[in-house]
Amino acid sequence: MLPKAYDPKLVEEKLAKIWQEKQVFKSKNDGGKNPYVIVIPPPNITGALHMGHGLNDTLQDVLIRYHRMKGFDANWVPGLDHGGIATQNVVEKTLAKEKKLTRHDLGREEFVNTVWQWYKDCGSAIYTQFEKMGWALDQSNIRFTMDEERAAAVYECFKRLWDKKYIYRGKRLINWCVRCTTALSDIEVEHEQRSGKLWHLRYKGADGGADIIIATTRPETIFADSAVAVNPHDEKYKNLVGKKVLIPLTQKAIPVIADEAVELGFGTGALKITPAHDAVDYEVGARHGLEIISVITDKGRMINVPAKYEGMDREVAKKQVVKDLEEAGLLVKEEKYDNAVSTCYRCGSAIEPFLSEQWFVKMDNLAAPAIKAVESGAVQMHPENWKTPLLNWLKNIQDWCISRQIWWGHRIPVWYCRQCSGTGLTFAADKQGRTQLVKVSFEDGAKPILSQTQPACPHCGGKDTVQDPDVLDTWFSSGLWPFSVFGWPKETPDLKHYYPTNMLVTGYEIIYLWVARMIMMGIEFMGKPPFPHVFLNGIVRDKTGKKMSKSLGNVVDPLDLIKKYGADATRFSLLIQAVPGKDIPYGEDSVVGARNFCNKIYNAARFIQMNAEGVEGKLALPAQNTELCDIWILSRYNKAVAAAAKAIEGYDMAAAANTLYHFLWGDFCDWYIELAKPRFTTQDKKRVAAILVNVLYGTLKALHPFMPFITEEIAAGFRKFTNESAEFLLRQSYPASDAKFINEAAEAQMALLQGIITQIRTVRAQFNVPPGAKIKVLFSTSDAREQAVINKYFAYITALAKADNLVCGMDLTRPAQSATAVFANTAIYIPLEGLIDFAKESARLAKELSIVETGIANRTRMLGNENFVKNAPAGQVAKAKEELSQMQLKASQIKEAIAGLK
């Protein structure tokens, strides 16, 4: 005898191993089957997987397993992302915590080695999680964005873009994170409303001219001011344009200029122009040929400022400058002001607009065909409402800053010669006398060397070449993922067979960072978009709807859930809430519910097994069935399976999971199994067992993509009754719905019986009839068909409503001392001598009556409205008529019952 409760621990670990050993997840590129391909959004190696991965990858797993069972060569390509800045930050933090070292203590080479070691540890932890979650990922086939093949792809991509002159180096004002000390691309910057202050400062007129008051949120940058700008149409300042004013604290004279960028009416109408530290100012400065003065270093410290402030942190300097301005009487006003602060998406520090030399990719030519692909529907977003934002982004695309001043990542494959100037490099000695790369310029025909490994200089033959110190944006390599995973640029058989992929499943928060880049790169290098469909999943939030974050302490760890409830329950709890595109508020109660469902499946199987064991041989589904509940369950089953498949194909996993959940728990367990119980002692035994086994087995297959472990485990025990030869469900076929089993008439008959049974149960509960007591019931109907059904299936009512001595006839009289219920056209009389509470019964009936009367009134009004009769579809009118007559009958029966009470 099996234990009463399902214990996932006993099966999950075992099956996860067997699946890998027997290579159940391996795809076979042998031309036999159509491919169905999904490349995994490679998780960053920044730590353990979280619930977001749990959802995202489980959705992919459902699609992969479903298509595998549908006969496709389903290939879910596993892999990891090196994660650039994010990973470097994590490793640096660990290093600081564990060894009190910085990356500079280790030096670049040693640090990079440390990260590789980290990758090994963190990576293998992630692989273990893949297995524990039951994801059908072939572990022998893992890719990593930094492995050799992917590095080759990155190099090839860089080279081709360089050759097309899409990649260039330029001095620009870029987004700089002073904590990570690196440049970021525009989309790596987040905007956050922070409460701050707006200071009004007095800039005195030079040579006795008028003063100007400007408003700024960044007083510490006044030392970098090159001008004060006003709107050209601003009457107030018209006479001042061309004059000079003095920067407070330094008395440096700067011109007053007119520029449209200044908005009339905002603040004081005058804007200090600081080209080196503000994007707008940079443009204004360019238009007016202003001097660019940097006063903040890459670490966020003050430089080129009066000695007093030199070396101060920018935030400290801000306070000091305000204080000094106040003392100098030049601070006119200080007001509260909320403004959007740009922050680093990796560490949250305030971004500093920073003038520096960086590598860029020119994007407009890459975006154009991607726009076309999205507009034409060659790439479709699900849900569709993301199409517009994606298009808007592509249409307003900015050049992509791809260089990062960090150590972990693909090094920019550009080399310079230290022996000649042919590669565009200028060197100088720094304070310590080390030779530093100071300036790269490809003007004057200088050409750098593109190479993955150290080359000799093609210009002078010198061997003293040095590689560009920067690394590429981590998204540069992930943009190539859908084809780099198949070995591109090599023309491998896999590349041919599996590209383009069928589907991308990812979160909407990385549409621009990743999805858009893949589309552009795929078209550029492969000639085709990498996938026709993008399925966007929501974010898993905590149960109050907040984003899960370590700082809030509301993070749920999938591994904990697995330990407590099993992987199937963890998966199912996510899937049943996975409405396309919607965020999921996640609480532990949902996984408890899913765990209970697992137990329900297990126990249903246990029960069926107990009763099927005695039966010899196979249990084929009977071709002909005459018993109502058999016909009914087969009809329900075939409908459920069809609905589940349809929902999966529409990416509505919540609908699919719900359908199967309710079919199995409701129809199958609550009704069919209960009706089956008494039949085990009759001639019907083998037939019932056969239907139970087959419907259960089919349902297990239908559920397998959702809960792979428990379904595999149970199905394995039942396979001997079936004709299945394949050992694993993944190698068996997804159940097909067979229309010949769908029987609306049987479902209607069964619905009548279910309704009647429920009515009787309600009455029993209402009047506290002892659960064991059998009660007599009379059915009085005016409908011959209903009479026939009830008469024929007395047994169902006896069994499920604990009734006895049933009598069914046309228009019977209501016995005294009985409770009355009405279902369809049948009145149900339950004699309850001594048990009945007349007041209670009267109240119950009155309530019932009022509901029915509302229904009657509605339908009478509808049918009395000639526009309804004229305009509504004939079916609707007939339905209303039918309902009206039934309700009228019901009302009269209830009235009669009320009148007869006593």
Partner RNA sequence: GGGCUGGUAGCUCAACUGGUCAGAGCGUCCGCCUUACACGCGGAAGGUUGUAGGUUCAAGUCCUAUCCGGCCCACCA
Closest CA to 536 of 645, 385, 699: 385
**Shortest gap between Cβ of 356 and RNA (angstroms)?**
18
Of 451 and 858, nearer to RNA (C-beta) is 858
Of 455 and 855, nearer to RNA (C-beta) is 855
DSSP string computed for 752-796: HHHHHHHHHHHHHHHTT--TT--EEEEEEES-HHHHHHHHHTHHH
Rounded Cα gap, residues 619 and 692, in angstroms: 9
CA dihedral of 884, 886, 887, 888, whole degrees rounded to 10? 80
Of 6 and 158, nearer to RNA (C-beta) is 6
Of 163 and 560, nearer to RNA (C-beta) is 560
Rounded Cα gap, residues 571 and 705, in angstroms: 10
Rounded Cα gap, residues 48 and 125, in angstroms: 7
Rounded Cα gap, residues 40 and 141, in angstroms: 12
Of 500 and 538, nearer to RNA (C-beta) is 538
**Shortest gap between Cβ of 98 and RNA (angstroms)?**
33
Q: Examine residue 735 and say whether the peptide bond preceding it is cis (omega within 30 degrees of 0).
A: no
Of 401 and 862, nearer to RNA (C-beta) is 862
**Shortest gap between Cβ of 378 and RNA (angstroms)?**
22
Rounded Cα gap, residues 574 and 587, in angstroms: 10
- Upper half-sphere CA count for residue 182 (Cβ side, 13 Å): 31
**Shortest gap between Cβ of 601 and RNA (angstroms)?**
8
Of 300 and 500, nearer to RNA (C-beta) is 300
Q: Look at the block and give the residue holding tokens 């408890």.
A: 592
Of 102 and 762, nearer to RNA (C-beta) is 762
**Shortest gap between Cβ of 281 and RNA (angstroms)?**
9
Of 396 and 723, nearer to RNA (C-beta) is 396
- CA distances 37 to 483, 502, 527, 532, 646, Å, are 12, 5, 18, 11, 19
**Shortest gap between Cβ of 595 and RNA (angstroms)?**
5
CA 660-546-589 angle, 5° bins: 40
DSSP string computed for 27-83: ---SSSS-EEEEE--PPBTTSS--HHHHHHHHHHHHHHHHHHHTT-EEEEE-EEB--
**Shortest gap between Cβ of 267 and RNA (angstroms)?**
3
> What are the residues whose beta carbons fall under 8 Å from the beta carbon of 594, sequence distance 6 or more?
565, 568, 569, 570, 571, 572, 573, 576
**Shortest gap between Cβ of 500 and RNA (angstroms)?**
26
**Shortest gap between Cβ of 305 and RNA (angstroms)?**
18
Of 64 and 695, nearer to RNA (C-beta) is 695
**Shortest gap between Cβ of 758 and RNA (angstroms)?**
4
376-411 burial, b at 16+ Cβ within 10 Å, e below that, comes to: eebbbbbeeebbeebbebbeebebbbbbbbbbbbbb
Task: Provide the residue type at 605 as one letter.
Answer: A
> What are the residues whose beta carbons fall under 8 Å from the beta carbon of 325, sequence distance 6 or more?
199, 201, 219, 248, 249, 331
**Shortest gap between Cβ of 891 and RNA (angstroms)?**
11
Rounded Cα gap, residues 501 and 482, in angstroms: 7
Of 271 and 702, nearer to RNA (C-beta) is 271
Q: Which tokens go with 147?
A: 């492995």
**Shortest gap between Cβ of 287 and RNA (angstroms)?**
12
3-state secondary structure of 212: strand
Rounded Cα gap, residues 200 and 223, in angstroms: 16
**Shortest gap between Cβ of 738 and RNA (angstroms)?**
21
Of 273 and 503, nearer to RNA (C-beta) is 273
**Shortest gap between Cβ of 118 and RNA (angstroms)?**
28
**Shortest gap between Cβ of 486 and RNA (angstroms)?**
30
Q: Examine residue 529 and say whether the peptide bond preceding it is cis (omega within 30 degrees of 0).
A: no
**Shortest gap between Cβ of 408 and RNA (angstroms)?**
24
Beta bridge partners of 534: 381, 504
Strand 73-77 and strand 35-39: pairing? Answer: parallel
Of 141 and 766, nearer to RNA (C-beta) is 766
Strand 403-404 and strand 584-586: pairing? Answer: unpaired
**Shortest gap between Cβ of 626 and RNA (angstroms)?**
24
Q: Examine residue 458 and say whether the peptide bond preceding it is cis (omega within 30 degrees of 0).
A: no
**Signed CA dihedral, 593, 599, 605, 608: sign only:** negative
Rounded Cα gap, residues 484 and 496, in angstroms: 12
Q: How many CB atoms lie within 10 A of CB 224?
A: 26
Of 153 and 641, nearer to RNA (C-beta) is 641
Of 125 and 669, nearer to RNA (C-beta) is 669
**Shortest gap between Cβ of 274 and RNA (angstroms)?**
9
Contact in structure between 611 and 633 (CB atoms under 8 Å)? no
Of 453 and 544, nearer to RNA (C-beta) is 544
Closest CA to 339 of 217, 186, 219, 176: 217
Task: Provide the residue type at 172 as one letter.
Answer: R
CA dihedral of 379, 380, 386, 391, whole degrees rounded to 10? 30
Of 309 and 661, nearer to RNA (C-beta) is 661
Rounded Cα gap, residues 776 and 655, in angstroms: 41
Of 278 and 468, nearer to RNA (C-beta) is 278
